[in-house]
Amino acid sequence: MLSRFKMDLFGTDVKTEFLAGFTTFLTMVYIVPVNGFILADAGMPMDAVITATALITILATIFNGIWSNTPVAMSVGMGLNAYFSYGLVLGMKIPWQTALGIVFISGIIFVALSFTNFRVWVIHSIPMELRRAISAGIGAFIAFIGLKQLGIIVADKATLVSLGHIQEPSVMLGIFGLFVTLILYTYKIKGAFILGIFITAIVGWFFGIGKLPDSFLSMPASITPIAFHLDIISALSLSLLPVIITFLVTDMFDSLGTLTAVGARAGLFQKDKDDIALEKTLEADAVATVTGSLLGVSTTTSFIESASGVEEGGRTGLTAVFTGLFFILTLFMLPLFKAIPDPAIYPVLVVVGILMFTELGKIDFQTSDIAIQSSVFLTVMLMPLTFSITNGLAAGFILFTLLKMVLGKWQDLTIGTYVITAIGLIVFILH
């Protein structure tokens, strides 16, 4: 069994892979309670969501480790889970069952495309600046949601939004949690996010914000209330086509960006279109999204936190297998996760948003033309301001294409750009 991981070829051993897997687990275990809170806001039962999140993380991560032999862990993606709850269910008033159907359809398309050269086509069709703008825009979107859920930003009739009542104990606890998490991350503490959550929770419990659980462990909750409750028929609507494409494109960009970053450090995915490891990891990612929608969670994707395991020396799929096995522990931690006060959870959204927003720093605004500058700006701004990743992506591509035409720079436009621009026009026509 162990021979399939080819550890000798990668210069590693079981002990190194075990420690790497544990490190990855520590850095991404926060997703289980955080996703539970986010999807619960969409009206889904938190108990079932927490169990389903743990299950898909276990299954997807172990499957990827065995299938692709890469040290990449997978779970429910931050950003698209927020869009699922706050953009689709709460914003567009789409039932969560239909939203799961959208995730399923986008996953099926991703699976089909994973076995083609579509990945290479996307890389060459979409300008890097717009890919980075999408990441930064999603970062701004989920940070805005985090600040809103913490009460730091509130609605205001005169100015639309305003500063909240920061003297309230719950808001002060959230601000404390934000600073703690940022400090832990800055000092590169392993498991900074989950440590930040529990430190903030302990402070909250001490001051009476939230209730300390009577027990810390229990048997896993049933996923029956959400498993196989997706509504695929309702999702097969022309008006929802742009949303399906948004989930597909965003998941693909997330995955490619994550795998590029992790691979650069691990010495993986350095080849061109014939990189079998990359293709197999993308296939596992796509299959995980389909499986996750059946279990009752939003889009599953490769996690950038896998880089922490790589830093510890993890180089093969055995790292991912160990990570998945460690996540079995989270199945029995439901009472602890449910007892965490809200202000201890949502600082994670803000910090993740900050990290995604830093992609803007990689864009050279000095040498780029007005088409790049304005489309990047519009993409980033419209995502949080309209509470929609779809609107920001669509507007950015439409403006990019139109300005490139006006400037006469037809050589900068590709078939892929035209296709996404056309889909963007559908977004606003059917709005």
Confidence of residue 278 (pLDDT cuts 50, 70, 90): confident
DSSP 336-370: HHHHS-HHHHTHHHHHHHHHHHGGGGGS-TTTS-H
User: Residue 301: helix, strand or coil by DSSP?
Assistant: strand
% of the chain surpassing 90 pLDDT:
65
Confidence of residue 206 (pLDDT cuts 50, 70, 90): very high
DSSP 134-185: HHHHHHHHHHHHHHHHHTSEEEETTTEEEE--TTSHHHHHHHHHHHHHHHHH
Structure-token match 């050589």, residue found: 411
Q: What does the alpha-carbon distance between residue 416 and residue 136 come to, in Å, rounded to a whole number?
A: 21
Contact in structure between 79 and 250 (CB atoms under 8 Å): yes
Amino acid in position 270: Q
User: Residue 269: helix, strand or coil by DSSP?
Assistant: coil
Per-residue confidence (pLDDT) for residue 307, from 0 to 100: 85
**Residue ranges of domains in the chain:** 2-429
Per-residue confidence (pLDDT) for residue 326, from 0 to 100: 97
User: Residue 225: helix, strand or coil by DSSP?
Assistant: coil
Task: Give the DSSP H/E element, type plus range, for residue 75.
Answer: strand 74-76
pLDDT tens-digit readout, 212-265: 888 888 999 999 999 999 999 999 988 898 899 889 888 877 787 787 667 766
The lowest-confidence range among 111-120, 172-181, 220-229 is 111-120
Q: What does the alpha-carbon distance between residue 427 and residue 431 come to, in Å, rounded to a whole number?
A: 6
* CA quadruple 230, 236, 237, 242: dihedral, nearest 10: 90
> Both tokens of residue 62?
């172990």
Query: Mean pLDDT, to the nearest integer, of 139-155?
Result: 94
Q: What does the alpha-carbon distance between residue 170 and residue 176 come to, in Å, rounded to a whole number?
A: 10
Per-residue confidence (pLDDT) for residue 431, from 0 to 100: 61
* Residue of 256, 303, 379 whose CA lies nearest to 77: 303
Q: What does the alpha-carbon distance between residue 137 and residue 133 come to, in Å, rounded to a whole number?
A: 6
Per-residue confidence (pLDDT) for residue 47, from 0 to 100: 97
Average pLDDT taken over every residue of the chain: 90
pLDDT tens-digit readout, 350-394: 999 999 899 899 899 988 899 999 999 999 999 999 988 888 888
Residues paired with 160 in a beta bridge: 156
Per-residue confidence (pLDDT) for residue 421, from 0 to 100: 86
Residue 131, pLDDT > 90, answer no
Task: Give the DSSP H/E element, type plus range, for residue 371.
Answer: helix 370-385
Residue 4, pLDDT > 90, answer no
Per-residue confidence (pLDDT) for residue 322, from 0 to 100: 97
Confidence of residue 211 (pLDDT cuts 50, 70, 90): confident
Confidence of residue 423 (pLDDT cuts 50, 70, 90): confident
Per-residue confidence (pLDDT) for residue 214, from 0 to 100: 83
Residue 162, pLDDT > 80, answer yes
Query: Mean pLDDT, to the nearest integer, of 98-116?
Result: 92
Per-residue confidence (pLDDT) for residue 123, from 0 to 100: 61
Residue 276, pLDDT > 60, answer yes
Residue 266, pLDDT > 90, answer no
> Both tokens of residue 227?
């498993």
Contact in structure between 52 and 295 (CB atoms under 8 Å): yes
Phi-psi region of 267 (alpha: psi -120 to 50; beta: other; left: phi over 0): left
